[in-house]
Structure 1
Amino acid sequence: MLAPSPEPFHYLLEGSRQTSFIYNVSIGELVYVSAAYEQLFPGHRREDASADLPHLLSYLPADDQAYARQCFAELAHGQLHDDLLLRVQPRPDQPPRWLCVRAHRGATPEGQVLLAGTVDDVTVEQEYIRNADKYMAKKNTTLEILSHDLAGPFNMLQQLAEFIGEKTQALNDPQVEKLIRVMQDTCRDSVNLIRDFVDGEFMESASVELKRARVELVLALRQIMETYQQGEHLVAKRFSLRAAQPKVFVEIDHNKFLQVINNLMSNAIKFTREGGHIVVSVEQQAQHVLVAVADDGIGIPAELLPVLFDRFTKARRPGLRGEKTTGLGMHLIQTLVRLHGGTIWVESEENRGTTFYIQLPNSAVQPAE
């Protein structure tokens, strides 16, 4: 039998739309749950909430059940301080819902460990965030493709202007020379404007605090790679995704980590010739998740590798189409990877290609094999 809620908060808890609870870890029972529990789980009575707990766990997708158990175990030991987001789907014919569990650890005078907190249905907010993340990643990927596609004609026009300038040099016509300079400056400024717009968004992201969540990385990478594959004809490159496991979970800032991948993809496009191949791979290892972005492009000279991640690095080079670089891209990539608790390194050989490796902590419970 559940104990009544303590005064003077009884009416506050009972009248709230939030589901409030107190769970006694020491005896493994719910000792209080508010009336909103019955709205959160229609068909369940709060008097039976403690007995319902094993059944409620089955509402979580199989991939999330071990993760939920781990999080509650950490919470019981005072090791989890973030909100816990869980997907629930009571019936297959119902859409999944998102629940946010906020709890803190306490103890009774007798030394029994308690977890007290609230459960909210945050489905609307989470669907909005996940759709926004999805379309933000697609937008950034599309911008990368378009930036290379649009820069190509301007670079070609600039080269044609240089060629015309050489052929008409003997005319010594100041007006012709001025027109050619205008063409060259316009093309160069247009290319720089396109690249500055894309780089600006990436640079701003490094100064913002991370908002981590449990992300299915294979799915997230597949979504952006499909966009690159749809744009293969625009950049004259081939793109592939290779996943060692069908699902890999990591705790990352979805938008910022995919910006890292997009920036590495942009770098690969710049230094890979037409017809080249760019591959993104992901693998769940014993202690880490390994992500790699590999190309068969022109590679990086050995003397530049030690300074590649330096701020305003001397390793910056124009792309094969003359794309400019600020020297900040790799430094910001490294910064964002480190903020995720990860490491990044590069292996490259001239005229053979380049591979960037990112190792992320294996902080999220993985699905059973």
Structure 2
Amino acid sequence: MFHLFRYKIPDKYTYEFRNTYSYINIKQVAILATVLLMIAIGVRMTSIFYNEELASMPNLNSYNILNFIQICGSAIFIILSSYAIKRENWSTSIRNSIVLVFCLFLLSTSFTISYLFSQFNPKNTLTIFLTGVLAVSIFFALELKHIILISIYIVFLFVVAMMIPDINSLQKLLNIIMSGVLSFFMYACSRYSYYFRAEQFVKVKQLEEKNLEVQLLNHQKSEILGFVAHDLRNPLNNIEALTRIVLEEQKENDNTEMQLILSSTRQAKSIIDDLLEIAQHDKTPFRLQNTNIIAFMDKICYNWQKNLKNERQIVFNASNQELVAAIDTSKLTRVIDNLIVNGLKFSKSGSPINIDVLKFDDSCMIKVTDFGIGIPLDLQSLLFDQFSKAGRPGLRGEKSVGLGLHISRQIIEQHKGTLTLQSKENEGTTFTVSLPLN
């Protein structure tokens, strides 16, 4: 508890906290001064309309003078605080000085009202003064030196006030004791308020620093991935080209080793493409163009069937109507290619891959279905994660780094579409791409 009373914000955040809360405190001055002005004007209007009823009220002249001071003082603080908010070149100490003077003004006027209501014995009624004390301690984040000064000022107000009325020494002593209690109450409430505001500010700043660190690390990771992947691609291209030359020259020979080199090179290039896609995510803008999805998919299926020759069948089914959607053709081709590769990887040789294109409401549905080993239920929720743990080797030993489906879903989502799956073990898997139609 006592730690809160002498709490000090860490030096690292002291300047920024003081500067930030000097603006917040000034805004609070503008708000409270406006409220005080409205109340004072309301009281003034009441005295005009009910002048006869209030004529017999004790200390009426004092109330009138105090009301005039409240109106003028509040108006001055509204103007001053509004000007201070706009003046960015004003120092923190100037703004804090305005806040301090306003707190003293608020306490003085609220004390005077209580003083007059209590017939010069403020311990009899402290309601309005307590309102001022709570307003100062709750609405403002005051520095330790300022709250000590304000606490002393409360005692000073009571001491001065006790010089005016003709009351006995015991009553005066009770008022002085009351001023000490109120002073401590003000100090305690203000320090609690300051502590929680400062702690929240520090936590937010620490969180911002952590976020900046994470962003920097992500940027560095992307730069490293891009650099490594780009530099690896060139030697792999050379290996692939040389391997093809050797295979062309030795067509009649069964060169299994060269075929293995070529296959491994292509697999490595596929992994590099995935890494580059991750590194360049959100950097390369999509080039959307209105495309006939049926013609687009027919071309992809034709190219795949041509490459596969008669080893596997790509069965393409589509409605006769034209389905037009805004797509990035190269990105969507990458998605479909990846889904077909997955289907080939996890199904037996000779098993077909079915591709269906159909319209559903205002969407175009592209279904890629294989009749392979399927995906276990416990792995389906992990399948689209980056570097997914659900990655499994294919039926012919093909390796996976768990990036393909993650990238595919990102691409589809950037098209404002969805990528979902349905699968049963030992029956097959269907991936469904849904794209909004124009």
TM tier, shorter chain? Answer: 0.3 to 0.5
For normalisation by structure 1, the TM-score amounts to 0.46
Higher strand share: 1
For normalisation by structure 2, the TM-score amounts to 0.39
Task: Flag the structure with more relative contact order, 1 or 2, with Cα contacts below 8 A and sequence separation at least 6.
Answer: 1
Q: Which has the larger radius of gyration?
A: 2
